[in-house]
A and B are shown apart, each in its own frame.
Chain A
C-alpha cells in the first residue's frame, strides 16, 4: 500500500478522532437522568474514526497540482525552491505571531511579523517594510487598542508607549 498525501491526511484525522474518543471514554456514557457527558462525543468520535478509516482505504488519489490547475490550493511538493522559501518564512511569521502574543505585546509583534513577511519573505526594501510595519502597529494600537478599546496583547513596550503618549498629551 502506497502512502499518499491523501492517506497521511486521513491517518491524521483518524488519530485526532481516536484521541477525542479516548478523552470522551473517560466520561460517563449514561447517567440516572439520561445520556451522560461522554455519550455525545463518544458517538461522534466513533463515527469520525469509521469515516477516517474508510477514507484511508478509499482515497488514494493525489490532488492536482497548482501547475496544472489554477483552482487548486497550491501544493508544497510542487512548489519551486523560491516559493518554498516564502512559505517557510510565512510559517515562521505565524510562529512569531503566537509567541509575540504571549511575550512581546501587540506593537512589537505586529512590527516583527510585518517585517518578517515583507522584508524576508517578499524581499520588499527595508524602508517600505519599516514604514508599513510601524504604520500597521500604530493604527492597530491607537485605532483598535486605545480609541475603540479593543483588547490587544499588552506587554511592557505597549505600556511604555501608552505612558509616552499620555505624557505628551496625545491620549
Chain B
C-alpha cells in the first residue's frame, strides 16, 4: 500500500498528471477514429518521449493503450467499424442496440462497464502481480504452445456460424502471421518474391482492410437510408441504461472483468481474445442466445468489460516478466528499453517508482476516461447524421493515413485494399474475420513456442502431453476441434424452402 501511495504521489505531480491526461485523451480520439489504432499512435509518439522522464513517458503511452479501449467502443456502436481489434465484438450487439434506438444506452453501458473493469483490473495488478508472475513464469514452451492452441480452438468453437469456417479462418490467420521473417532464424518465407513482404504483413493494413475497407464496400451496396437508422440522443439521461438494461448488464460486466483480466495475463492473449471469449461465454450462459447479434445487452456489456480488464491484465506479463502480451505492449517494452529500464521481476524492487507510478496512473486514467467519455459521447453520436458520401470518404482517407503511416509504404495501402475486397467476400459468405486477426496475433508466439518445444524434445510430440497443464489444454483443444469438424445438419429455412422448391 505504501508503494501504491508513492505511485499516486508521482502521478499527482502536475506534469505527470498532464501526460496522463494527454495519453487517455489521445487514446480515446484514436480509438474513435477508424484506422488510427493504438499501435500506430504509440509508434508515432514513441520518438517524442525520448527526452521525457521515463515514468511520464510510460504513463502517457499506457494511457493511449487503455484509452483506446474506451474510444473504440464509440465507432463500433455507432458505425459498426471497430476503432481497434479488441472492439470487433462490440460491433455485433452494440451496433444492433444502436439501430434499435438505444445508442446512448449502449455507450453508457460500455463506459460504466469499462470503468468498472479498468478499475478492478488495476486493483488486481496491484495485489496479484507478484504471485501471478511466479505462476506464469513456470510456463515452458510446450505450455505456451498449448495455451495458444487451446485459445484459438476455444474462439473457433464459440464463434457464431459454421465451426469449419471458423477453423479455416484460424488457419488463414496463422498463415498470414507466418508471412515474413521466420521468428527464430530470420529467414524470409511466404513472400512470393515480394520484397516488402519480407518484413511480414503488418497488423494495421490487415485489420483496416478486413474491417474498415470491407465495411466501406458493404456501405456502398446498402440503401442510403440504412445509415440514418440511429437516432442521436442529446443530454445526459439518454446515455443512462434503463432498469432492465442495467440489471442485464451487471453480471456480464463482473464476469467479463474477471475473465478479461485472466486472459490478459496470457502472453498473446490480451484484450482481443478476452472480448471473444467473454462474448462466447455470455451467449452460452444466456437464456436467449438467439438474441445475440441482434442487440443483446449481455453481448455488449461482457466483452466491453473484458476488453478493459484484458488491457489491464496485459500489463502484468509486461511489468512483471518483461514479456509483451501483444504488439502494443511490445512497443511499450521498447519505450522502457529506450529509457534504459528493463521491465521484469526485479522492477518492483529496484525501480518501484516506475512500476507503482504506472499502476497508480491507471487508477487516475480510468477516472479521467469516465469523466471524458460520457459528456463527449454525445458529440460523436452526431457522426451518424453524416450522409454516407461524407462518411465513406472520410473513413477511406483516415484508413489511408493509418495504413501508410505505419511503415511509410504504399505497398501497405495496396495490401489493405486487397484485404478489404477479400474481407468483403468472406463476410458475405459467413466467414468470421475476427478469428483471422486473433490467429494472426497469436501466430508468432504460438510458432516460437511450438518450435522451441519440439527442439527441446527432438521432435517428440509427447512433450505436449508431458505435464498436467499441457494435458488439460491438449484435451480441451482436441475435444473442441473434433466437435467443430462434425458436420451438423442445417435446419431448412422456411423462406428459402418456399422460394426455391427445387433445391
Asked whether any CB of chain A lies closer than 8 Å to the CB of B392, the reply is yes
A9, A23, A40, A89: the one contacting B429 at CB < 8 Å is A9
* Chain A nearest Cβ from B444, distance in angstroms: 10
Instruction: List, in ascending order, chain A residues with CB within 8 A of B413's CB.
Output: 97-98, 101
Instruction: List, in ascending order, chain A residues with CB within 8 A of B190's CB.
Output: 20, 23-24, 41
- Do the beta carbons of A102 and B427 come within 8 Å of each other? no
Asked whether any CB of chain B lies closer than 8 Å to the CB of A165, the reply is no
Which of B317-325, B331-339, B447-455 has 4 or more CB atoms under 8 Å from chain A?
B447-455
A63/B429 contact (C-beta < 8 A), A19-B192, A83-B223, A118-B389 known: yes
CA distance A136 to B450 in the complex (A): 47
Residue on B nearest A41 in the bound complex, by CB: B178
- Contacting residues of chain B (142-190) with chain A, CB-CB under 8 angstroms: 162, 164-165, 167-168, 171-172, 174-175, 178, 182, 184-185, 187, 189-190
Residue on B nearest A76 in the bound complex, by CB: B221
* Chain B nearest Cβ from A77, distance in angstroms: 10
* Chain A nearest Cβ from B356, distance in angstroms: 31
- Do the beta carbons of A66 and B222 come within 8 Å of each other? yes
* Chain B nearest Cβ from A99, distance in angstroms: 9
Asked whether any CB of chain B lies closer than 8 Å to the CB of A113, the reply is yes
- Do the beta carbons of A94 and B420 come within 8 Å of each other? yes
Residue on A nearest B183 in the bound complex, by CB: A40
Instruction: List, in ascending order, chain B residues with CB within 8 A of A83's CB.
Output: 220-223
Instruction: List, in ascending order, chain B residues with CB within 8 A of A48's CB.
Output: 168, 171-172, 175
A19, A41, A122, A144: the one contacting B189 at CB < 8 Å is A41
Instruction: List, in ascending order, chain B residues with CB within 8 A of A47's CB.
Output: 171
Instruction: List, in ascending order, chain A residues with CB within 8 A of B493's CB.
Output: 64
* Chain B nearest Cβ from A34, distance in angstroms: 3
Instruction: List, in ascending order, chain B residues with CB within 8 A of A140's CB.
Output: 397, 401
Instruction: List, in ascending order, chain B residues with CB within 8 A of A34's CB.
Output: 451-452, 454-456, 458-459
- Do the beta carbons of B401 and A152 come within 8 Å of each other? yes
- Contacting residues of chain A (13-61) with chain B, CB-CB under 8 angstroms: 13, 16-17, 19-20, 23-24, 27, 30, 33-41, 44-45, 47-48, 51-52, 54-55, 58-59, 61
Residue on B nearest A31 in the bound complex, by CB: B185
CA distance A20 to B175 in the complex (A): 8
Which interface class (under 10, 10 to 19, 20 to 34, 35 or more) fits A? 35 or more
Residue on B nearest A150 in the bound complex, by CB: B405
A59/B165 contact (C-beta < 8 A), A41-B190, A94-B213, A110-B400 known: yes
- Do the beta carbons of B192 and A23 come within 8 Å of each other? yes
- Do the beta carbons of A98 and B414 come within 8 Å of each other? yes
A71/B293 contact (C-beta < 8 A), A55-B165, A90-B216, A149-B44 known: yes
B96, B221, B226: the one contacting A86 at CB < 8 Å is B221
A58-80 vs B, CB cutoff 8 Å, 1 = contact: the mask equals 11010110101011011110010
Instruction: List, in ascending order, chain B residues with CB within 8 A of A33's CB.
Output: 455
- Do the beta carbons of A87 and B451 come within 8 Å of each other? no
Instruction: List, in ascending order, chain B residues with CB within 8 A of A30's CB.
Output: 459
- Do the beta carbons of A87 and B396 come within 8 Å of each other? no
Asked whether any CB of chain A lies closer than 8 Å to the CB of B404, the reply is yes
A89, A93, A148: the one contacting B396 at CB < 8 Å is A93
Asked whether any CB of chain A lies closer than 8 Å to the CB of B424, the reply is yes
Q: Which 6 A-B pairs have the closest CB atoms?
A: A34-B455, A74-B221, A122-B389, A48-B171, A101-B410, A90-B220
B180-216 vs A, CB cutoff 8 Å, 1 = contact: the mask equals 0010110101111000000000000000000001001
Instruction: List, in ascending order, chain B residues with CB within 8 A of A108's CB.
Output: none
CA distance A70 to B294 in the complex (A): 10
- Do the beta carbons of A117 and B182 come within 8 Å of each other? no
CA distance A121 to B216 in the complex (A): 13
